[in-house]
């Protein structure tokens, strides 16, 4: 069972995209500046897909690694 609980912690990574695209919005919206010529909020929201794919990719890799040997 210890292994089972251990395996679930990485799922917390799934919260990162929510923090990125929801919780941090009031803060990011206050930034008036420009990054690489793009308005901050546009660039921030535009990076949400990359953030999600990175987090999901790590979780997937982790899942595969921990369930790998059990599979036939």
Q: Which residues bind another protein (CB under 8 A)?
A: 11, 14, 17-18, 21-23, 25-26, 29, 32, 34, 37-42, 45-46, 48-53, 55-57, 59-60, 63
Q: Are 11 and 55 in contact (CB under 8 A)?
A: no
- Closer to another protein at the Cβ: 41 or 66? 41
CB of 39 to another protein, least distance (A): 3
Rounded-to-integer distance, Cα 60 and Cα 67, Å: 10
- Closer to another protein at the Cβ: 6 or 49? 49
Rounded-to-integer distance, Cα 51 and Cα 67, Å: 24
Q: Is 8 helix (H, G, I), strand (E, B) or coil?
A: helix
């Amino acid at each position: 069972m210890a292994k089972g609980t251990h395996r679930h912690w990485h799922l917390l990574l799934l919260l990162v995209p929510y923090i990125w695209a929801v919780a941090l919005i009031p803060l990011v919206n206050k930034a008036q500046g420009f990054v690489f010529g793009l308005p901050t909020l546009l660039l921030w929201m535009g990076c949400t897909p990359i953030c999600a794919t990175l987090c999901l990719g790590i979780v997937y890799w982790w899942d595969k690694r921990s369930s790998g040997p059990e599979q036939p």
